[in-house]
């Protein structure tokens, strides 16, 4: 017959319950910590993706491969090569020396293909005459110093482009008229003005 003291069943139950509470609390704490880390990681990934998307969006909006805002189209059949008008001019320059002059060649590229064909074609046209007049007016009356300055030359190039775009910009339809989407004019008729030759002689 064993003399070992018998444990009370109630005491044993209390010990088991306490052990379960301790283990359950530890497991619950671990689960809470892991879920917290997962949520934080998910938020970080979401913020990173949003930042990347936000940075890429302006670049996509600014993308303009032909310089015409995607409007260099011809009757919906795709992009057509921009016509080029070549202008060669020789003008006198102001300054102490009377025989100073400037010889330059400008290439004008068009977004408005119809305007470009009229201006760059061999036949005389009102559009061609207007462009020649605007360019001649812009380059005339320059001093030798202005003609020799790179910044002044760049400003002149932009001035010519702005004046041509202002002259040939499309007019809004009159009241009651509807714009034909098949023959919609580009907002910027002139794509670019390039200075390909610029020589000063004194």
199 neighbors 102 (Cβ within 8 angstroms): yes
Residues 15 and 101 reside in one and the same domain: no
179 pLDDT above the threshold of 80 = no
Are 152 and 160 a contacting pair, CB within 8 Å? no
Instruction: Answer yes or no: is pLDDT of 74 > 80.
Output: no
Find, among 132, 134, 103, the residue nearest to 118 by Cα: 132
C-alpha angle with apex 81: 80 to 84, nearest 5 degrees?
A: 135
* Band of residue 58 on the pLDDT scale cut at 50, 70, 90: very low
Q: Are residues 88 and 164 in the same domain?
A: yes
Whether pTM > 0.85 for this model: the answer is: no
Nearest to 200 by CA among 136, 89, 132, 104: 104
Whether 94 and 193 share a structural domain: yes
pLDDT, position 56? 42
Q: Percent of the chain scored above 90 by pLDDT?
A: 47
112 and 16 within one domain: no
Mean pLDDT of 15-32: 55
User: Regarding predicted confidence, which is higher, 10 or 56?
Assistant: 10
Residues 24 and 99 in one domain: no
| One domain for residues 89 and 163 | yes
Number of domains in the chain: 2
Give domain status of residue 19, yes or no: yes
Does 58 fall in a domain? no
Residues 36, 89 share a domain:
no
Does residue 76 surpass a pLDDT of 90? no
Do both 163 and 88 map to the same domain? yes
- Note the pLDDT of residue 11: 63
Q: What are the pLDDT digits (tens) for 158-169?
A: 999 999 999 999
- Is residue 25 included in any domain, yes or no? yes
**Same domain, yes or no, for 159 and 89?**
yes
pLDDT at 52 over 90: no
Establish if 129 belongs to a structural domain: yes
What confidence score (pLDDT) does residue 165 get?
96
User: Is 61 among the domain residues?
Assistant: no
The CATH number given to whatever domain includes residue 159 is 3.30.479.30
Same domain, yes or no, for 37 and 90?
no
Task: Return the percentage of the chain with pLDDT > 70, whole number.
Answer: 56
Q: Report in angstroms the alpha-carbon separations of 80 from 71, 85, 134, 151.
A: 10, 16, 26, 32
- 177 in a domain, yes or no? no
Domain that holds residue 137: 84-170+187-201
- For residue 151, name the pLDDT band (cuts at 50, 70, 90): very high
The pLDDT of 48-73, averaged and rounded, is 51
């Amino acid at each position: 017959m064993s003399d070992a003291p018998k444990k009370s069943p109630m005491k044993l139950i209390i010990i088991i319950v306490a052990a379960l509470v301790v283990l359950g609390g530890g497991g619950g704490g671990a689960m809470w910590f892991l879920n917290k880390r997962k949520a934080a990681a998910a938020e970080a990934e979401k913020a990173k993706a949003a930042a990347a998307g936000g940075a890429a969006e302006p670049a996509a909006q600014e993308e303009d491969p032909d310089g015409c805002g995607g409007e260099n189209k011809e009757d919906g059949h795709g992009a057509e090569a921009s016509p080029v008008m070549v202008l060669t001019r020789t003008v006198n320059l102001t300054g102490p020396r009377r025989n100073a002059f400037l010889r330059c060649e400008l290439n004008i590229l068009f977004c408005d293909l119809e305007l470009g064909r009229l201006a760059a074609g061999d036949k005389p046209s009102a559009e061609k005459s207007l462009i020649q007049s605007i360019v001649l007016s812009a380059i005339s009356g320059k001093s030798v110093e202005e003609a020799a300055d790179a910044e002044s030359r760049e400003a002149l190039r932009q001035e010519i482009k702005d004046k041509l775009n202002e002259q040939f910009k499309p007019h809004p339809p009159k009241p009651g008229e509807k714009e034909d989407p098949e023959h919609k004019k580009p907002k910027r008729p002139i794509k670019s003005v390039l200075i390909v030759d610029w020589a000063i002689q004194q």
